[in-house]
Amino acid sequence: MSLPLEVEIKLPTGTTYKQPTGLFINNEFVYPKQKKSFEVLSPSTEEVITSVYEALEEDVETAVQAAEAAYKTNWTWGPPEARAAVLYKLAELVDKNAELLASIETFDNGKSLQNSKGDVALTAAYFRSCAGWCDKITGNLINTGNSHFNYTQRVPMVCGQIIPWNFPLLMLSWKLGPVLATGCTTVLKSAESTPLSALYVGKLLVEAGMPKGVVNIISGFGATAGAAIASHPRIDKVAFTGSTNVGKIIMKAAAESNLKKVTLELGGKSPNVVFDDADVSKTVKHLITAIFFNTGEVCCAGSRILIQSGIYDKIIKEFKKETEKIKIGNPFDPETFMGAQASDIQFKKILKYINSGIEQGATVITGGKPVEGKGYFIKPTIFADVRPDMDIVKDEIFGPVVSVIKFDTVDEAIELANDTQYGLAAGIHTNDINKIMKVSNAIKAGTIWVNTYNDFHPMVPFGGFSASGIGREMGEEVFHEYTQVRAVRIAISNTN
């Protein structure tokens, strides 16, 4: 018996809702050609929530055809205010369904409900921000004298997008917002472990008035559906958020197919630098947000804390005390800050790194163990007495594990901060504007947070240097990533 295209799910909150399971193509939930499906687990209970249908290469082709057909319509080439209307309506629908969307995200991903509610709020805000950009995607007039009339246009594209499992809804908005604002069309693949919120957004897109084929959302695996998107010869641009290793595979596939435009938002091992004059209590709050928010499953997590020697003991003492107050457990408890890790694979990977840190001689200040019972829960973990060659210092763990390093001088802090292949983000904590300017100008990272952390705004671009990726999300910069420049030069007949 085939899985229905929509199933009724009862959330732990007691709410029952109808969850789509099919592929969202041409504004409809449809069966894949082979009708294969896969199970979706809840990380906090280790139980099956439901199954969803799996897209394979032939289903990606169907979705691309839908996106190509939509690209030729008035959606792409018509008035930008029509696109703005869809985005504004979509933002309203996200707000209207905020409680349900947050609950779906928490059930599917394992993160705390308070974290999911924050994601939903940022999602609605970003769709609204993109709506305001629809009629501002402009070209330029170029003066080369009176013999020619010259101008440039920003031309949208048929896109492929692959989002991660750590922020399923928010990353969907970061991808779909610029697509809808610029007039692009897209095929978006959700992460195989967290497909539910993306499919539910398909229903909201139809309600918001999005035309057929503009956005097509598929569930599937990276090795099949993801690879088909990255290598598709008629997709003009691919956007990927995920690990650096997979990003390299995406980039190679894009180059070997049709040299499609690529944006990659990848991993990080971000330094969080604390100077002697930092406010201890405020800084510790930011250190906790930097590493333990979203159970540490954040690409820009401040996973290397550098503390100046004069304040080191005070920060360590307060950081340990406040970390041990963090409530971890049932993600639907409003007081819970840390929910479950997103999967058994991730849970085991994090524990492997913790054991590696212990075996290599690092000191566990607090944590270092899983929480007993069902679910993929790990205690927030602080390591001290680390060395630069330790795996916990070098590698992106993607979990609630942080290494603390002592330094003496500003120049030493800069050297330690840049001792990584990554360059996604960094934090600086000081009240000295001279230190702020010197260190922020010297750290090789795409985002520098000063006296704050994990602090996002739709108008502030986000993306990395080096192994942390190519291109930018959000801000004005993202609209350049979703358009190509066409130059038009017209010869003018100068007759008297």
187 vs 202: CA distance, rounded Å: 12
Q: Given a cut of 80, is residue 496 above it in pLDDT? A: no
Helix axes 80-96, 98-109, angle to 10 degrees: 70
371 vs 215: CA distance, rounded Å: 40
265 is catalytic: yes
Q: Tell me the torsion sign for CA atoms 120, 122, 124, 127.
A: negative
CB 390 within 8 A of CB 363: no
pLDDT of residue 2: 83
Q: What are phi and psi of 258, to 5 degrees?
A: -135, 25
70 vs 211: CA distance, rounded Å: 8
Q: Which domains does the chain have, with CATH numbers?
A: 6-266+471-485 (3.40.605.10), 271-458 (3.40.309.10)
Cα 256 → chain centroid: 26
Overall average pLDDT of the 35-59 stretch: 97
pLDDT of residue 52: 98
The half-sphere exposure of 468 on its side-chain side, counting CA atoms within 13 A, is 27
pLDDT of residue 139: 95
Cα 9 → chain centroid: 26
Task: Read off the pLDDT of residues 423-446 as tens digits, 9 standing for 90 and up.
Answer: 999 999 999 999 999 999 999 999
Task: Indicate which residue of 54, 192, 265, 481 is catalytic.
Answer: 265
pLDDT of residue 1: 58
250 vs 263: CA distance, rounded Å: 10
Gyration radius (Cα) of the chain, Å: 23
286 vs 292: CA distance, rounded Å: 10
DSSP state of 472: -
Which amino acid type is present at position 130? C
Nearest to 268 by CA among 411, 456, 462: 462
Q: Across all residues in the chain, what is the average pLDDT?
A: 97
Overall average pLDDT of the 129-157 stretch: 97
The CA distances from residue 77 to 68, 74, 334, in Å, are: 13, 5, 46
Other residues' Cβ atoms within 10 Å of the Cβ of residue 409: 10
Overall average pLDDT of the 437-462 stretch: 98
Overall average pLDDT of the 470-483 stretch: 98
Task: Read off the pLDDT of residues 301-359 as tens digits, 9 standing for 90 and up.
Answer: 999 999 999 999 999 999 999 999 999 999 999 999 999 999 999 999 999 999 999 99
Strands 469-470 and 261-265 come out as antiparallel
Which pLDDT band holds residue 495 (cuts at 50, 70, 90)?
A: low
pLDDT of residue 493: 87
Q: Given a cut of 60, is residue 91 above it in pLDDT? A: yes
Which pLDDT band holds residue 101 (cuts at 50, 70, 90)?
A: very high
Cα 48 → chain centroid: 25
pTM: 0.96
Which pLDDT band holds residue 299 (cuts at 50, 70, 90)?
A: very high
Task: Read off the pLDDT of residues 218-227 as tens digits, 9 standing for 90 and up.
Answer: 999 999 999 9
327 vs 335: CA distance, rounded Å: 7
Helix axes 168-182, 196-207, angle to 10 degrees: 40
Q: Given a cut of 70, is residue 286 above it in pLDDT? A: yes
